[in-house]
Amino acid sequence: MKKKSRLSVESYIEGVLKGDRMVLSRAITLVESSLLSDQLLAEKVMEGVLPYSGKSIRIGVTGVPGVGKSTFIESFGKILLDKGYKLAVLAIDPSSPKSGGSILGDKTRMEELSADKRAYIRPSPAGASLGGVSARTRESMILCEAAGHDVILIETVGVGQSEIAVKGMVDFFLLLMLAGAGDELQGIKKGIIEMCDALIINKADGENVEAAKRAKREYANALHLFPAKESGWVPQVKTCSALEKSGLEAAWEMIIEFKDKMTANGYLEFNRQEQRANWMQEHVRYLIENNFLHNPKVKSRMGEILPGIKSGKYSAIAKARELVDLFLINR
């Protein structure tokens, strides 16, 4: 029954390239499917659209919950639409395996963007493994590009592994912060600041304007302490108010400047090449794991040893090696 609802490879490709939102959504759903038949179909679709991808600027947006990411994306996104860009917003939210995450809920808050046909908004399913989600997000991004979206915003949350995943698939990585939210220079991981191409202090409005300016100076000083980036880009610190829609034009100009410079010096393409290589590696990992879990010998032996593993009678790492040997050597 499930297969019946699938389109042909050609229909997916044609629909996506025409910018048909319904087909784009169905193609992303296909790509997210864990059924082997869907995956094989998805691979063909991806091969078909790949030559038409890559023409967007890919922007990662991160920041702790409460920093105003959704409002930023809504306001920033509308400016981009007004400039004539086609926008796609993808979200990665790996950190809430239980409740399904907060980003999905946030999406409903991007009311104006959601209502605009030039914007396409797609949250990734929470609860999937990080590798899984990030791999699918890459593919979703390619599909959105093939459908004509020329600005891709990939939103993530928290300070941790998901930032690394998003950094690994975008051109420009943007960290949103708040002024006066505790200890300015200790309150955020050095590693995340090091990864970002721009740090924007949001909610620079009302009584908060002065604090935001102060925070901007502090961060700008702090950024000087980091080693120069491989890209040659000097990370910028800016303020904005997503609510009052101030500072957003400047943010976009900065991203354009980044794109121009990085295109000229070759870093944009160099970085994307590295990202494509990593993408393949992550997918390899995903495929092998699937194979392992469905291997009959492994399944059978796993059933025998699992009680002893659970009780602590067997060593988990020794038995892991036994299973891997069974999978790889005594096939």
The sheet with strand 172-178 has its strands ordered as 119-123, 87-92, 151-156, 57-62, 172-178, 198-202, 236-239
Using CB under 8 A as the binding rule, whether residue 256 contacts its own copies is answered as no
For residue 201, list its beta bridge partners: 177, 239
**Binds its own copies (CB under 8 A): choice among 273, 294, 299, 300:** 273
**Separation CA 61–CA 77 (nearest Å):** 12
- Which residue among 182, 206, 296, 303 contacts its own copies (CB under 8 A)? 182
# binding residues, its own copies (CB under 8 A): 77
For 182, phi and psi rounded to 5 degrees? 80, -150
Binding span for its own copies by CB under 8 A among 74-82, 177-185, 242-250, 255-263:
177-185
- Of 187 and 232, nearer to its own copies (C-beta) is 187
- Least Å distance, CB 14 to its own copies, is 18
Nearer to its own copies among residue 46 and residue 87 (C-beta)? 46
CB-count exposure of residue 201 (10 Å: 0-12, 13-18, 19+): buried
**Residue 104 interacts with its own copies (CB under 8 A): yes or no:** no
Q: Which one among 18, 83, 189, 294 touches its own copies, defined by CB under 8 A? A: 189
DSSP code of residue 6: -
CA distance 248 to 183: 25
In whole angstroms, give the CA distance from residue 164 to residue 158.
11
Report the site for its own copies in 72-101 (rule: CB under 8 A).
94-99, 101
Considering the complex, state which of residue 257 and residue 269 has its C-beta at the smaller distance from its own copies. 269
Q: Choose, by CB under 8 A, the member of 35, 234, 256, 320 that binds its own copies.
A: 320
Decide if residue 5 touches its own copies (CB under 8 A). Answer: no
Stretch that binds its own copies, among 15-23, 63-71, 82-90, 246-254 (CB under 8 A): 63-71
The rounded radius of gyration (Å) of the Cα atoms in the chain is 22
Site string for its own copies, 206-245 (x = CB under 8 A): ----------------------------------------
Residue 309 binds its own copies (CB under 8 A): yes
Site track for its own copies across 37-56, x = CB under 8 A: -----xx--xx--x--xx--
3-state secondary structure of 57: strand
Site for its own copies in 277-296 (CB under 8 A): 277, 279-281, 283-289, 291-292
CA–CA separation, 86 and 145 (whole Å): 9
Please tell me whether residue 310 binds its own copies under the rule CB under 8 A.
yes
Alpha carbon distance 177, 65 (integer Å): 10
Helix (H) or strand (E) holding 121: strand 119-123
Residue 5 or 311: which CB sits closer to its own copies?
311
For the CB of residue 282, give the shortest distance to its own copies in the complex, in Å.
8
Is residue 10 a contact residue for its own copies (CB under 8 A)? no
Three-state SS for 75?
helix
Distance CA 100, CA 162 (A): 15
Burial of 319 (0-12, 13-18, 19+ CB in 10 A): middle
| Site stretch for its own copies (CB under 8 A), options 109-117, 182-190, 208-216, 255-263 | 182-190
Q: Is 187 in the site for its own copies (CB under 8 A)?
A: yes
